[in-house]
Structure 1
Protein backbone atom coordinates (compact mmCIF):
# COMPACT_ATOMS: atom_id res chain seq x y z
CA UNK A 1 0.00 0.00 0.00
CA UNK A 2 1.10 3.54 -0.78
CA UNK A 3 0.25 6.66 1.26
CA UNK A 4 -1.69 9.36 -0.56
CA UNK A 5 -2.98 12.81 0.22
CA UNK A 6 -6.27 14.20 -1.11
CA UNK A 7 -5.84 17.93 -1.73
CA UNK A 8 -7.74 20.65 -3.49
CA UNK A 9 -7.50 24.21 -4.67
CA UNK A 10 -10.95 25.82 -4.67
CA UNK A 11 -12.52 22.37 -4.91
CA UNK A 12 -10.39 21.32 -7.91
CA UNK A 13 -9.25 18.09 -6.25
CA UNK A 14 -6.22 15.86 -6.56
CA UNK A 15 -4.88 12.55 -5.34
CA UNK A 16 -1.20 13.15 -4.61
CA UNK A 17 1.25 10.23 -4.29
CA UNK A 18 4.98 10.39 -3.63
CA UNK A 19 7.16 8.40 -6.03
CA UNK A 20 10.37 10.15 -5.05
CA UNK A 21 11.62 7.24 -2.89
CA UNK A 22 10.93 4.69 -5.65
CA UNK A 23 8.88 4.47 -8.89
CA UNK A 24 5.29 3.26 -8.53
CA UNK A 25 3.61 0.72 -10.87
CA UNK A 26 0.97 3.16 -12.06
CA UNK A 27 -0.38 2.71 -15.59
CA UNK A 28 -2.98 4.99 -17.22
CA UNK A 29 -5.64 2.30 -16.68
CA UNK A 30 -4.82 2.04 -12.97
CA UNK A 31 -4.78 5.80 -12.58
CA UNK A 32 -8.18 6.03 -14.29
CA UNK A 33 -9.62 3.52 -11.83
CA UNK A 34 -8.15 5.31 -8.80
CA UNK A 35 -9.48 8.63 -10.11
CA UNK A 36 -12.99 7.24 -10.61
CA UNK A 37 -15.38 8.81 -8.10
CA UNK A 38 -17.51 5.67 -7.82
CA UNK A 39 -14.93 2.85 -7.98
CA UNK A 40 -11.79 4.62 -6.71
CA UNK A 41 -10.79 7.57 -4.58
CA UNK A 42 -11.99 10.16 -7.05
CA UNK A 43 -10.21 13.28 -8.30
CA UNK A 44 -9.99 15.82 -11.09
CA UNK A 45 -6.29 15.02 -11.58
CA UNK A 46 -3.94 12.35 -10.27
CA UNK A 47 -0.59 13.82 -9.20
CA UNK A 48 2.65 11.87 -8.87
CA UNK A 49 5.68 13.48 -7.21
CA UNK A 50 9.01 12.47 -8.72
CA UNK A 51 12.57 13.59 -7.91
CA UNK A 52 13.50 17.10 -9.00
CA UNK A 53 16.74 17.84 -10.81
CA UNK A 54 18.81 20.99 -11.13
CA UNK A 55 16.80 24.05 -10.15
CA UNK A 56 13.64 22.03 -9.51
CA UNK A 57 12.73 20.93 -5.98
CA UNK A 58 10.26 18.34 -7.27
CA UNK A 59 8.88 17.01 -10.55
CA UNK A 60 5.07 16.92 -10.72
CA UNK A 61 3.49 14.45 -13.16
CA UNK A 62 -0.17 15.14 -13.93
CA UNK A 63 -2.75 12.67 -15.17
CA UNK A 64 -6.36 13.42 -16.03
CA UNK A 65 -9.05 11.09 -14.64
CA UNK A 66 -9.21 9.29 -17.98
CA UNK A 67 -5.52 8.35 -17.55
CA UNK A 68 -4.18 10.77 -20.16
CA UNK A 69 -1.20 12.92 -19.20
CA UNK A 70 -1.57 16.69 -18.86
CA UNK A 71 1.12 19.33 -19.18
CA UNK A 72 -0.03 21.82 -16.57
CA UNK A 73 -2.40 22.31 -13.65
CA UNK A 74 -2.24 25.55 -11.71
CA UNK A 75 -4.27 24.45 -8.70
CA UNK A 76 -2.25 21.24 -8.35
CA UNK A 77 0.97 23.24 -8.60
CA UNK A 78 -0.08 25.34 -5.63
CA UNK A 79 -0.92 22.19 -3.65
CA UNK A 80 2.38 20.48 -4.45
CA UNK A 81 4.36 23.67 -3.79
CA UNK A 82 2.75 23.95 -0.35
CA UNK A 83 3.77 20.37 0.47
CA UNK A 84 7.38 20.91 -0.59
CA UNK A 85 7.60 24.23 1.23
CA UNK A 86 6.32 22.53 4.39
CA UNK A 87 8.95 19.77 3.95
CA UNK A 88 11.84 22.13 3.37
CA UNK A 89 10.82 25.01 5.63
CA UNK A 90 11.31 27.42 2.74
CA UNK A 91 8.88 30.03 1.41
CA UNK A 92 9.91 29.53 -2.23
CA UNK A 93 10.29 26.37 -4.30
CA UNK A 94 10.33 25.35 -7.96
CA UNK A 95 7.89 22.74 -9.25
CA UNK A 96 8.88 21.16 -12.57
CA UNK A 97 6.32 19.78 -15.05
CA UNK A 98 6.65 18.40 -18.56
CA UNK A 99 5.81 21.95 -19.72
CA UNK A 100 8.48 23.74 -17.68
CA UNK A 101 9.52 25.04 -14.26
CA UNK A 102 7.00 26.86 -12.08
CA UNK A 103 8.48 29.01 -9.27
CA UNK A 104 6.08 29.15 -6.33
CA UNK A 105 5.92 31.07 -3.06
CA UNK A 106 3.86 31.50 0.09
CA UNK A 107 2.25 34.93 0.42
CA UNK A 108 1.66 36.72 3.75
CA UNK A 109 -2.09 36.06 3.53
CA UNK A 110 -1.46 32.28 3.52
CA UNK A 111 -2.19 31.73 -0.15
CA UNK A 112 0.30 30.29 -2.63
CA UNK A 113 1.36 32.18 -5.75
CA UNK A 114 2.74 30.40 -8.82
CA UNK A 115 4.59 31.89 -11.76
CA UNK A 116 2.88 29.95 -14.54
CA UNK A 117 5.27 31.27 -17.17
CA UNK A 118 4.43 33.01 -20.41
CA UNK A 119 1.44 32.01 -22.53
CA UNK A 120 2.12 30.50 -25.93
CA UNK A 121 0.08 32.37 -28.49
CA UNK A 122 1.08 30.89 -31.85
CA UNK A 123 -1.35 28.51 -33.54
CA UNK A 124 1.26 25.72 -33.61
CA UNK A 125 1.91 26.22 -29.89
CA UNK A 126 -1.71 25.82 -28.74
CA UNK A 127 -1.87 23.67 -30.97
CA UNK A 128 -4.53 24.28 -33.61
CA UNK A 129 -5.16 22.16 -36.68
CA UNK A 130 -4.37 24.97 -39.12
CA UNK A 131 -2.76 28.38 -39.29
CA UNK A 132 -4.89 31.25 -37.92
CA UNK A 133 -4.90 34.21 -35.56
CA UNK A 134 -5.44 32.81 -32.07
CA UNK A 135 -7.06 36.03 -30.83
CA UNK A 136 -10.37 35.21 -32.54
CA UNK A 137 -10.89 31.71 -33.87
CA UNK A 138 -13.42 31.07 -36.66
CA UNK A 139 -15.28 28.56 -34.51
CA UNK A 140 -18.98 28.47 -33.65
CA UNK A 141 -21.12 25.86 -31.94
CA UNK A 142 -24.59 26.50 -30.60
CA UNK A 143 -24.65 29.93 -28.93
CA UNK A 144 -20.85 30.08 -28.62
CA UNK A 145 -18.54 31.64 -31.20
CA UNK A 146 -15.13 33.23 -31.88
CA UNK A 147 -13.11 32.10 -28.87
CA UNK A 148 -9.52 33.07 -28.18
CA UNK A 149 -6.87 30.39 -27.73
CA UNK A 150 -3.50 30.05 -26.05
CA UNK A 151 -1.41 27.44 -24.28
CA UNK A 152 -0.50 27.63 -20.61
CA UNK A 153 1.40 24.35 -20.89
CA UNK A 154 -1.86 22.80 -22.06
CA UNK A 155 -4.32 24.01 -24.72
CA UNK A 156 -7.08 26.46 -23.79
CA UNK A 157 -9.88 28.14 -25.71
CA UNK A 158 -11.93 30.89 -24.04
CA UNK A 159 -15.44 31.82 -25.12
CA UNK A 160 -16.78 35.14 -23.83
CA UNK A 161 -20.44 35.13 -22.83
CA UNK A 162 -22.93 37.77 -21.68
CA UNK A 163 -24.38 35.73 -18.80
CA UNK A 164 -22.60 32.69 -17.40
CA UNK A 165 -25.68 31.67 -15.41
CA UNK A 166 -27.77 31.12 -18.53
CA UNK A 167 -25.03 29.96 -20.93
CA UNK A 168 -25.42 26.19 -21.65
CA UNK A 169 -21.68 25.64 -21.30
CA UNK A 170 -21.87 22.10 -19.92
CA UNK A 171 -24.08 21.05 -22.82
CA UNK A 172 -21.51 22.14 -25.39
CA UNK A 173 -18.25 21.76 -23.45
CA UNK A 174 -17.66 18.12 -24.36
CA UNK A 175 -18.19 18.74 -28.08
CA UNK A 176 -15.90 21.75 -28.06
CA UNK A 177 -13.15 19.83 -26.22
CA UNK A 178 -13.10 17.34 -29.10
CA UNK A 179 -13.55 19.84 -31.95
CA UNK A 180 -11.32 19.04 -34.98
CA UNK A 181 -9.68 22.44 -34.62
CA UNK A 182 -7.95 21.12 -31.46
CA UNK A 183 -5.81 18.10 -32.45
CA UNK A 184 -4.78 17.51 -28.80
CA UNK A 185 -8.27 18.40 -27.52
CA UNK A 186 -8.59 21.57 -25.41
CA UNK A 187 -9.73 22.96 -22.10
CA UNK A 188 -12.77 25.10 -22.84
CA UNK A 189 -13.38 28.22 -20.75
CA UNK A 190 -16.61 30.22 -20.64
CA UNK A 191 -15.97 33.71 -19.28
CA UNK A 192 -18.24 36.59 -18.31
CA UNK A 193 -16.36 39.86 -17.94
CA UNK A 194 -18.00 41.82 -15.11
CA UNK A 195 -15.42 44.61 -15.09
CA UNK A 196 -11.92 44.94 -16.56
CA UNK A 197 -10.58 43.62 -13.24
CA UNK A 198 -13.33 41.08 -12.46
CA UNK A 199 -14.23 37.97 -14.48
CA UNK A 200 -16.51 35.00 -13.82
CA UNK A 201 -15.33 31.72 -15.31
CA UNK A 202 -16.46 28.13 -15.76
CA UNK A 203 -14.22 25.52 -17.41
CA UNK A 204 -14.83 22.23 -19.15
CA UNK A 205 -11.47 20.53 -18.56
CA UNK A 206 -9.90 18.25 -21.14
CA UNK A 207 -10.23 14.67 -19.92
CA UNK A 208 -12.09 15.70 -16.74
CA UNK A 209 -15.25 17.59 -17.69
CA UNK A 210 -16.65 20.41 -15.53
CA UNK A 211 -14.55 21.17 -12.46
CA UNK A 212 -14.98 23.61 -9.60
CA UNK A 213 -11.82 25.48 -10.60
CA UNK A 214 -9.07 25.45 -13.22
CA UNK A 215 -5.91 27.42 -12.49
CA UNK A 216 -4.34 27.26 -15.93
CA UNK A 217 -7.78 28.05 -17.39
CA UNK A 218 -7.95 31.18 -15.25
CA UNK A 219 -4.52 32.21 -16.53
CA UNK A 220 -5.59 31.65 -20.13
CA UNK A 221 -8.79 33.62 -19.53
CA UNK A 222 -6.95 36.71 -18.28
CA UNK A 223 -4.52 36.52 -21.20
CA UNK A 224 -7.29 36.10 -23.76
CA UNK A 225 -9.51 38.77 -22.20
CA UNK A 226 -6.63 41.27 -22.23
CA UNK A 227 -5.80 40.42 -25.84
CA UNK A 228 -9.43 41.11 -26.77
CA UNK A 229 -9.40 44.46 -24.93
CA UNK A 230 -11.89 43.20 -22.34
CA UNK A 231 -9.67 43.23 -19.24
CA UNK A 232 -6.52 44.75 -17.84
CA UNK A 233 -3.43 42.84 -16.78
CA UNK A 234 -4.75 42.12 -13.28
CA UNK A 235 -8.07 40.56 -12.40
CA UNK A 236 -10.01 38.66 -9.81
CA UNK A 237 -11.40 35.53 -11.42
CA UNK A 238 -14.38 33.90 -9.73
CA UNK A 239 -14.82 30.18 -10.41
CA UNK A 240 -17.55 27.89 -9.03
CA UNK A 241 -15.18 26.81 -6.23
CA UNK A 242 -13.82 30.22 -5.26
CA UNK A 243 -11.57 33.08 -6.33
CA UNK A 244 -8.10 33.33 -7.85
CA UNK A 245 -5.99 36.47 -8.22
CA UNK A 246 -4.27 36.79 -11.60
CA UNK A 247 -1.65 39.10 -13.08
CA UNK A 248 -0.15 39.04 -16.58
CA UNK A 249 3.13 40.88 -16.01
CA UNK A 250 4.79 43.04 -18.61
CA UNK A 251 7.60 40.48 -18.87
CA UNK A 252 5.01 38.05 -20.22
CA UNK A 253 4.70 35.78 -17.18
CA UNK A 254 1.32 35.02 -15.64
CA UNK A 255 1.09 34.93 -11.83
CA UNK A 256 -1.74 33.05 -10.12
CA UNK A 257 -2.50 33.13 -6.39
CA UNK A 258 -5.05 31.19 -4.36
CA UNK A 259 -5.61 28.87 -1.39
CA UNK A 260 -4.78 25.20 -0.95
CA UNK A 261 -6.23 22.59 1.40
CA UNK A 262 -5.83 18.94 2.42
CA UNK A 263 -9.11 17.05 2.62
CA UNK A 264 -7.79 13.73 4.00
CA UNK A 265 -4.98 11.21 3.81
CA UNK A 266 -5.00 7.45 3.32
CA UNK A 267 -3.40 4.51 1.55
CA UNK A 268 -4.03 3.15 -1.94
CA UNK A 269 -3.16 0.00 -3.82
CA UNK A 270 -1.00 1.02 -6.82
CA UNK A 271 -1.89 -2.28 -8.49
CA UNK A 272 -5.60 -1.41 -8.52
CA UNK A 273 -6.96 -2.06 -11.98
CA UNK A 274 -4.12 -4.38 -12.96
CA UNK A 275 -6.55 -7.09 -14.08
CA UNK A 276 -8.55 -4.63 -16.15
CA UNK A 277 -5.36 -3.25 -17.72
CA UNK A 278 -4.21 -6.75 -18.58
CA UNK A 279 -7.58 -7.79 -19.96
Structure 2
Protein backbone atom coordinates (compact mmCIF):
# COMPACT_ATOMS: atom_id res chain seq x y z
CA UNK A 1 0.00 0.00 0.00
CA UNK A 2 1.50 3.30 -1.08
CA UNK A 3 0.20 6.83 -0.43
CA UNK A 4 -3.45 5.73 -0.08
CA UNK A 5 -5.92 8.58 0.00
CA UNK A 6 -9.68 8.55 0.40
CA UNK A 7 -11.99 11.56 0.37
CA UNK A 8 -15.72 10.89 0.63
CA UNK A 9 -18.36 12.86 -1.25
CA UNK A 10 -19.06 15.00 1.81
CA UNK A 11 -15.43 16.14 1.85
CA UNK A 12 -14.28 13.95 4.73
CA UNK A 13 -10.65 12.90 4.32
CA UNK A 14 -10.61 9.38 5.74
CA UNK A 15 -7.09 8.52 4.58
CA UNK A 16 -4.27 11.01 4.11
CA UNK A 17 -1.37 9.29 2.38
CA UNK A 18 -1.25 5.90 4.12
CA UNK A 19 1.64 3.60 3.22
CA UNK A 20 1.99 0.08 4.63
CA UNK A 21 4.03 -2.98 3.75
CA UNK A 22 2.68 -6.32 4.98
CA UNK A 23 5.15 -9.11 4.21
CA UNK A 24 3.93 -12.53 2.99
CA UNK A 25 3.19 -14.90 5.86
CA UNK A 26 2.82 -12.12 8.43
CA UNK A 27 0.20 -11.84 11.17
CA UNK A 28 -0.38 -8.09 11.09
CA UNK A 29 -2.48 -5.93 13.43
CA UNK A 30 -4.13 -2.74 12.20
CA UNK A 31 -5.26 -0.69 15.19
CA UNK A 32 -6.85 2.70 15.55
CA UNK A 33 -9.48 4.61 17.53
CA UNK A 34 -13.04 5.23 16.40
CA UNK A 35 -13.03 7.22 13.16
CA UNK A 36 -9.27 6.83 12.60
CA UNK A 37 -9.67 5.39 9.11
CA UNK A 38 -8.92 1.72 9.66
CA UNK A 39 -12.31 0.52 8.39
CA UNK A 40 -11.87 2.63 5.26
CA UNK A 41 -8.42 1.14 4.78
CA UNK A 42 -9.72 -2.42 5.19
CA UNK A 43 -12.56 -1.57 2.81
CA UNK A 44 -10.08 -0.42 0.15
CA UNK A 45 -7.88 -3.52 0.51
CA UNK A 46 -10.91 -5.79 0.17
CA UNK A 47 -12.26 -3.74 -2.77
CA UNK A 48 -15.39 -2.60 -0.94
CA UNK A 49 -14.36 1.07 -0.95
CA UNK A 50 -12.94 2.93 -3.95
CA UNK A 51 -9.70 4.76 -3.28
CA UNK A 52 -9.20 8.41 -4.25
CA UNK A 53 -5.48 8.05 -4.86
CA UNK A 54 -2.48 5.84 -4.24
CA UNK A 55 -1.77 2.20 -5.02
CA UNK A 56 -2.54 -1.19 -3.50
CA UNK A 57 -0.74 -4.35 -4.57
CA UNK A 58 -1.70 -7.82 -3.38
CA UNK A 59 1.30 -10.09 -3.80
CA UNK A 60 2.47 -7.95 -6.69
CA UNK A 61 -0.95 -7.66 -8.36
CA UNK A 62 -2.34 -4.13 -8.68
CA UNK A 63 -5.78 -3.97 -7.05
CA UNK A 64 -7.11 -1.33 -9.44
CA UNK A 65 -5.57 -2.45 -12.73
CA UNK A 66 -6.17 -6.17 -12.13
CA UNK A 67 -9.01 -6.20 -9.62
CA UNK A 68 -10.45 -9.65 -10.33
CA UNK A 69 -7.04 -11.31 -10.20
CA UNK A 70 -6.13 -9.51 -6.96
CA UNK A 71 -9.44 -10.33 -5.27
CA UNK A 72 -8.96 -14.05 -5.90
CA UNK A 73 -6.04 -13.81 -3.49
CA UNK A 74 -8.10 -12.31 -0.66
CA UNK A 75 -10.51 -13.78 1.87
CA UNK A 76 -12.56 -11.51 4.12
CA UNK A 77 -14.19 -12.25 7.47
CA UNK A 78 -16.52 -9.34 8.36
CA UNK A 79 -17.66 -8.58 11.87
CA UNK A 80 -21.33 -9.44 11.30
CA UNK A 81 -22.56 -13.00 10.77
CA UNK A 82 -23.75 -13.04 7.15
CA UNK A 83 -24.42 -16.65 6.16
CA UNK A 84 -27.77 -18.44 5.85
CA UNK A 85 -28.72 -19.62 9.33
CA UNK A 86 -31.06 -22.23 7.83
CA UNK A 87 -28.26 -23.91 5.91
CA UNK A 88 -25.87 -26.56 7.23
CA UNK A 89 -22.18 -25.62 7.72
CA UNK A 90 -21.03 -28.23 5.22
CA UNK A 91 -23.43 -26.92 2.58
CA UNK A 92 -22.47 -23.30 3.30
CA UNK A 93 -18.83 -24.07 2.55
CA UNK A 94 -19.45 -26.25 -0.50
CA UNK A 95 -21.88 -23.78 -2.07
CA UNK A 96 -19.51 -20.90 -1.36
CA UNK A 97 -16.67 -22.67 -3.14
CA UNK A 98 -18.99 -23.52 -6.01
CA UNK A 99 -19.74 -19.83 -6.42
CA UNK A 100 -16.07 -19.42 -7.33
CA UNK A 101 -16.13 -22.30 -9.80
CA UNK A 102 -14.61 -25.05 -7.67
CA UNK A 103 -15.74 -28.57 -8.72
CA UNK A 104 -18.12 -30.08 -6.18
CA UNK A 105 -15.96 -33.08 -5.27
CA UNK A 106 -12.99 -30.81 -4.60
CA UNK A 107 -15.21 -28.43 -2.63
CA UNK A 108 -16.54 -31.26 -0.46
CA UNK A 109 -13.02 -32.45 0.32
CA UNK A 110 -11.85 -28.94 1.19
CA UNK A 111 -14.97 -28.28 3.28
CA UNK A 112 -14.07 -31.23 5.49
CA UNK A 113 -10.51 -29.92 5.87
CA UNK A 114 -11.66 -26.43 6.84
CA UNK A 115 -14.43 -27.60 9.16
CA UNK A 116 -11.99 -29.86 10.97
CA UNK A 117 -9.48 -27.05 11.29
CA UNK A 118 -12.23 -24.84 12.74
CA UNK A 119 -13.25 -27.67 15.12
CA UNK A 120 -16.69 -27.80 13.50
CA UNK A 121 -16.68 -31.15 11.70
CA UNK A 122 -19.03 -32.70 14.28
CA UNK A 123 -21.48 -29.86 13.49
CA UNK A 124 -21.21 -30.18 9.71
CA UNK A 125 -24.78 -31.45 9.24
CA UNK A 126 -26.72 -29.41 11.79
CA UNK A 127 -28.60 -26.20 11.06
CA UNK A 128 -26.25 -23.25 11.43
CA UNK A 129 -28.79 -21.36 13.54
CA UNK A 130 -28.20 -23.91 16.32
CA UNK A 131 -24.48 -23.12 16.54
CA UNK A 132 -23.10 -21.09 19.42
CA UNK A 133 -21.79 -17.59 18.79
CA UNK A 134 -18.19 -18.78 18.80
CA UNK A 135 -18.97 -21.62 16.38
CA UNK A 136 -20.65 -19.21 13.98
CA UNK A 137 -17.56 -17.01 13.97
CA UNK A 138 -15.30 -19.99 13.33
CA UNK A 139 -17.62 -20.96 10.49
CA UNK A 140 -17.13 -17.49 9.00
CA UNK A 141 -13.38 -18.09 9.02
CA UNK A 142 -13.75 -21.56 7.49
CA UNK A 143 -15.95 -20.15 4.73
CA UNK A 144 -13.42 -17.45 3.86
CA UNK A 145 -10.70 -20.11 3.62
CA UNK A 146 -12.69 -22.09 1.02
CA UNK A 147 -11.17 -19.98 -1.75
CA UNK A 148 -7.70 -20.77 -0.33
CA UNK A 149 -6.74 -17.10 -0.12
CA UNK A 150 -3.15 -16.02 0.34
CA UNK A 151 -4.36 -13.02 2.36
CA UNK A 152 -7.06 -13.31 5.04
CA UNK A 153 -8.55 -10.07 6.35
CA UNK A 154 -10.30 -10.25 9.73
CA UNK A 155 -12.44 -7.30 10.80
CA UNK A 156 -13.13 -7.58 14.54
CA UNK A 157 -13.49 -11.39 14.35
CA UNK A 158 -13.99 -11.88 18.10
CA UNK A 159 -16.19 -8.86 18.85
CA UNK A 160 -18.76 -9.57 21.53
CA UNK A 161 -17.58 -13.05 22.52
CA UNK A 162 -16.14 -14.09 25.87
CA UNK A 163 -12.46 -14.77 26.53
CA UNK A 164 -12.70 -18.57 26.27
CA UNK A 165 -14.33 -18.36 22.84
CA UNK A 166 -11.72 -15.80 21.78
CA UNK A 167 -8.93 -18.15 22.80
CA UNK A 168 -10.50 -20.97 20.77
CA UNK A 169 -10.52 -18.69 17.74
CA UNK A 170 -6.92 -17.66 18.39
CA UNK A 171 -5.87 -21.29 18.04
CA UNK A 172 -7.67 -21.58 14.70
CA UNK A 173 -6.10 -18.36 13.41
CA UNK A 174 -2.64 -19.44 14.52
CA UNK A 175 -3.05 -22.69 12.59
CA UNK A 176 -4.10 -20.80 9.46
CA UNK A 177 -1.17 -18.41 9.72
CA UNK A 178 1.30 -21.22 10.45
CA UNK A 179 0.16 -22.90 7.22
CA UNK A 180 1.35 -19.83 5.27
CA UNK A 181 -1.69 -17.57 5.00
CA UNK A 182 -0.98 -13.87 5.56
CA UNK A 183 -3.43 -12.32 8.03
CA UNK A 184 -4.42 -8.71 8.61
CA UNK A 185 -6.38 -8.29 11.84
CA UNK A 186 -8.37 -5.36 13.17
CA UNK A 187 -9.48 -5.71 16.76
CA UNK A 188 -10.38 -3.57 19.76
CA UNK A 189 -9.03 -6.26 22.10
CA UNK A 190 -5.45 -5.09 22.51
CA UNK A 191 -4.36 -8.26 24.31
CA UNK A 192 -5.55 -10.17 21.24
CA UNK A 193 -3.30 -8.16 18.92
CA UNK A 194 -0.35 -8.47 21.30
CA UNK A 195 -0.87 -12.23 21.61
CA UNK A 196 -1.33 -13.02 17.92
CA UNK A 197 0.49 -10.47 15.80
CA UNK A 198 4.16 -10.06 14.93
CA UNK A 199 3.84 -6.62 13.34
CA UNK A 200 1.39 -3.77 13.72
CA UNK A 201 0.41 -0.32 12.56
CA UNK A 202 -1.60 2.26 14.48
CA UNK A 203 -3.68 4.67 12.41
CA UNK A 204 -5.15 7.92 13.72
CA UNK A 205 -6.87 10.78 11.88
CA UNK A 206 -6.26 9.02 8.56
CA UNK A 207 -2.49 8.71 9.01
CA UNK A 208 -0.15 6.00 10.25
CA UNK A 209 1.34 7.16 13.54
CA UNK A 210 3.60 4.14 14.04
CA UNK A 211 4.32 0.78 12.45
CA UNK A 212 6.84 -1.99 12.89
CA UNK A 213 7.54 -5.23 14.78
CA UNK A 214 5.39 -5.65 17.87
CA UNK A 215 8.34 -6.49 20.12
CA UNK A 216 10.41 -3.51 19.01
CA UNK A 217 7.57 -1.04 19.46
CA UNK A 218 6.66 -2.37 22.90
CA UNK A 219 10.32 -2.41 23.96
CA UNK A 220 10.44 1.37 23.47
CA UNK A 221 8.01 1.87 26.33
CA UNK A 222 9.77 2.99 29.49
CA UNK A 223 6.97 1.77 31.76
CA UNK A 224 6.11 -1.74 32.87
CA UNK A 225 3.26 -2.96 35.01
CA UNK A 226 2.74 -5.65 37.61
CA UNK A 227 -0.12 -7.11 39.62
CA UNK A 228 0.56 -8.19 43.20
CA UNK A 229 -1.57 -10.71 45.09
CA UNK A 230 -1.44 -9.80 48.78
CA UNK A 231 -1.65 -11.95 51.90
CA UNK A 232 -4.26 -10.55 54.26
CA UNK A 233 -6.07 -7.24 53.95
CA UNK A 234 -4.56 -4.12 52.44
CA UNK A 235 -4.10 -1.11 54.73
CA UNK A 236 -6.37 1.89 54.26
CA UNK A 237 -3.38 4.02 53.21
CA UNK A 238 -1.01 2.64 50.54
CA UNK A 239 2.66 3.65 50.64
CA UNK A 240 3.81 6.36 48.27
CA UNK A 241 6.74 5.14 46.15
CA UNK A 242 8.43 7.87 44.14
CA UNK A 243 8.17 7.39 40.38
CA UNK A 244 5.45 4.75 40.56
CA UNK A 245 1.68 4.54 40.44
CA UNK A 246 0.30 2.11 43.01
CA UNK A 247 -3.44 1.44 43.24
CA UNK A 248 -5.65 -1.15 44.91
CA UNK A 249 -7.84 -3.19 42.57
CA UNK A 250 -9.58 -4.87 45.49
CA UNK A 251 -8.76 -5.76 49.08
CA UNK A 252 -6.14 -8.32 48.05
CA UNK A 253 -4.67 -7.06 44.76
CA UNK A 254 -2.35 -4.16 43.91
CA UNK A 255 -1.72 -2.64 40.49
CA UNK A 256 1.76 -1.14 39.94
CA UNK A 257 3.17 0.94 37.07
CA UNK A 258 6.87 1.77 37.30
CA UNK A 259 9.80 2.87 35.11
CA UNK A 260 11.55 -0.04 33.42
CA UNK A 261 14.91 1.08 34.83
CA UNK A 262 13.65 1.11 38.41
CA UNK A 263 14.75 -1.62 40.83
CA UNK A 264 11.73 -3.71 41.80
CA UNK A 265 13.36 -4.39 45.18
CA UNK A 266 12.60 -0.77 46.12
CA UNK A 267 8.92 -1.54 45.69
CA UNK A 268 9.11 -4.72 47.78
CA UNK A 269 10.96 -2.84 50.52
CA UNK A 270 8.34 -0.08 50.62
CA UNK A 271 5.51 -2.59 50.69
CA UNK A 272 7.22 -4.53 53.48
CA UNK A 273 7.69 -1.37 55.54
CA UNK A 274 3.94 -0.74 55.18
CA UNK A 275 3.17 -4.23 56.44
CA UNK A 276 2.08 -5.50 53.02
CA UNK A 277 3.19 -9.04 52.23
CA UNK A 278 3.22 -10.06 48.55
CA UNK A 279 2.11 -13.64 47.97
CA UNK A 280 2.62 -13.65 44.18
CA UNK A 281 3.13 -11.25 41.29
CA UNK A 282 2.56 -11.27 37.54
CA UNK A 283 3.27 -8.96 34.65
CA UNK A 284 0.33 -6.97 33.30
CA UNK A 285 -0.40 -7.63 29.63
CA UNK A 286 -1.33 -4.03 28.87
CA UNK A 287 1.84 -2.80 27.17
CA UNK A 288 0.08 -2.39 23.85
CA UNK A 289 -2.65 -0.36 25.54
CA UNK A 290 0.01 1.96 26.95
CA UNK A 291 1.55 2.38 23.49
CA UNK A 292 -1.87 2.98 21.95
CA UNK A 293 -2.82 5.67 24.47
CA UNK A 294 0.50 7.44 24.09
CA UNK A 295 0.18 7.63 20.31
CA UNK A 296 -3.52 8.42 19.98
CA UNK A 297 -4.25 10.28 23.20
CA UNK A 298 -6.31 9.39 26.29
CA UNK A 299 -10.02 8.82 25.94
CA UNK A 300 -9.84 7.28 22.48
CA UNK A 301 -11.77 4.09 21.78
CA UNK A 302 -10.78 1.31 19.41
CA UNK A 303 -14.26 0.25 18.34
CA UNK A 304 -15.64 1.50 15.04
CA UNK A 305 -19.45 1.74 15.06
CA UNK A 306 -19.94 0.51 11.50
CA UNK A 307 -16.97 -1.33 9.98
CA UNK A 308 -16.87 -0.81 6.23
CA UNK A 309 -15.78 -4.34 5.56
CA UNK A 310 -18.88 -5.78 7.19
CA UNK A 311 -21.44 -3.85 5.19
CA UNK A 312 -21.97 -5.83 1.98
CA UNK A 313 -23.77 -9.13 1.92
CA UNK A 314 -21.80 -10.53 -1.03
CA UNK A 315 -19.29 -13.31 -0.30
CA UNK A 316 -15.83 -12.29 0.84
CA UNK A 317 -13.35 -11.88 -1.97
CA UNK A 318 -15.97 -11.71 -4.69
CA UNK A 319 -14.68 -9.55 -7.58
The structure that has the greater radius of gyration is: 2
- Please confirm whether the aligned pair reaches a TM-score higher than 0.5, indicating the same fold: no
The structure whose residues are more often strand, as a share, is 1
TM interval, short-chain normalised:
under 0.3
The higher-RCO structure (CA 8 Å, 6+ apart) is 2
Which structure's residues are more often helix, by fraction? 2
